[in-house]
Chains A and B, each alone.
Chain A
């Protein structure tokens, strides 16, 4: 089996300088591996650091201790030591992240938001737009909305635009942070399908699924994130 994303002794502590340098350890010695075709669901109580782990895996938070590795362009790359440009390259080619909330870009249509990362991978614009439109339709976003900027969309609609943007580039590793949080049953079903298709295509997924029903259907394995004791 091929490891696509893994950590070695990952630790994360926040230091809040504005509060007298208060130190808040959140992750300690995390050893996590996800392989091609797997969907790893993070479990653990609220506040255990699941979201922090996800953000560390994406490079959005820096890792204080340990290492994060990713399989990128046929080689193992230490993401936790990569510089900004290398991280950007990994995100462009290999690593996707779907959060609960869409970061709306003013005046850019839903279709263009979804197609943008595909075009950035070098896919022709027409093909990228076709792929974007297909995904949005699968996620039940009516075609009349495709050309509009999603700023005025409902939370559920925005989330579906976000999901389409995440799945359209066909990354080899995907991070899903509550991907079905504000979706109805039909759309949850569409997401489950997308995850299963991605797994079948060899994608490694790591997700936080609040909805246990969804989790049980998509996850191949659980990974328990251990809350750590408050530092004295």
Chain B
């Protein structure tokens, strides 16, 4: 039995009188794709930000286990260690590619940045890896020197994924990665994420309101409402045999996936 990469218990966070997280716990194991679903304001994005160290909870703790199996309390790691973690062992894919890419830097430079941040100092190697990653995310390698602002929305998102995965993270956070894309583009992106995650055995913690995306990608599902996890389990069981009234409502509101 493997240990979880990321584990949290008793997370509580309030914004003023709103309770964003109300005693939330989670465990993500290596290679596991976990989706957090719920409507806007359910606390799912807040949870992602707490788990990725961007927000400090009022109570509860988040434990991260490094590649050597050593546990670390995320919110006691210090900013330098957290940043190092974020560009090596972890990755973050933003809903808006503009938040995850450097729009003034070429596609190759965007992919190479994480390599350079962790000490790569051979231009030829960096460029070769960037080329390889563009190919993996199905971007024509002839566009390696083009700026991301000349790319379509789907391509920008694929570039963001290449930029994140190039350092071989073990855990990737994704915040609505298909939000704002056309349906056909979404399908291609989801398929790409699904393929890469299983091929590279990456754990993914995904926040989405798209039930179909969750069904396609996630092994496990957490349904959130009003800052609480109302139901969780195997993706197909939660969606096909929902127990909680809110999950039943959520599933019944979705067009057949």
Interface residues in chain A, defined as those with a beta carbon under 8 Å from any beta carbon in chain B: 14-18, 55, 59-62, 83-85, 87-88, 105-108, 120
Contacts and interface: CB of A to CB of B under 8 A. Distances in A.
28 contacts: A15-B243, A16-B248, A17-B244, A17-B249, A18-B245, A18-B248, A18-B249, A55-B240, A59-B234, A60-B236, A60-B237, A60-B240, A61-B241, A62-B237, A62-B243, A83-B233, A84-B219, A84-B220, A84-B232, A85-B29, A85-B219, A85-B220, A88-B219, A105-B191, A105-B216, A107-B191, A108-B191, A120-B198
Q: A14, A61, A84, A87: which has the most chain B beta carbons within 10 Å?
A: A84
Nearest to B219: A88
Nearest to B192: A107
Given A60-B236, A62-B237, A88-B234, 19 more contacts: A14-B241, A15-B243, A17-B248, A18-B249, A55-B241, A60-B237, A61-B240, A62-B233, A84-B219, A84-B232, A84-B234, A84-B237, A85-B29, A85-B220, A105-B191, A106-B190, A106-B191, A107-B191, A108-B191
Nearest to B251: A18
A62 B220 contact: no
Contacts of B84: none
Contacts, number: 53
A59 B188 contact: no
State the majority secondary structure of interface residues on A. mixed
B103 interface: no
A27 to B, nearest CB: 13
Contacts of A15: 243
A62 B219 CA distance: 16
A62 B237 CA distance: 7
Interface of B: 29, 32, 187-188, 190-191, 194, 198, 216, 219-220, 232-234, 236-237, 240-241, 243-245, 248-249, 252
A85 B235 CA distance: 11
Nearest to B27: A85
B237 A59 contact: yes
A57 to B, nearest CB: 13
A60 B241 contact: yes
Contacts of B190: 106
Contacts of B216: 105
Contacts of A62: 233, 237, 241, 243
Contacts of B220: 84-85
Contacts of B232: 84
Contacts of B191: 105-108
Contacts of B188: 106-107
Contacts of B249: 17-18
A61 B233 CA distance: 11
B216 to A, nearest CB: 7
Interface pairs A-B: 10 shortest CB-CB:
A17-B245, A106-B187, A84-B234, A61-B241, A84-B220, A107-B191, A84-B233, A17-B248, A106-B191, A60-B236
A61 B243 CA distance: 10
A83 B216 CA distance: 20
A105 B249 CA distance: 25
Contact of B252 (A18, A55, A105): A18
Contacts of B241: 14, 55, 60-62
A125 B249 CA distance: 41
A18 B248 CA distance: 7
**Residue picked from B234, B243, B244, most chain A C-beta under 10 Å:** B234
Nearest to B241: A61
Contacts of B245: 17-18
Contact of A61 (B32, B187, B194, B237): B237
A103 to B, nearest CB: 9
B234 A87 contact: yes
A55 B236 CA distance: 10
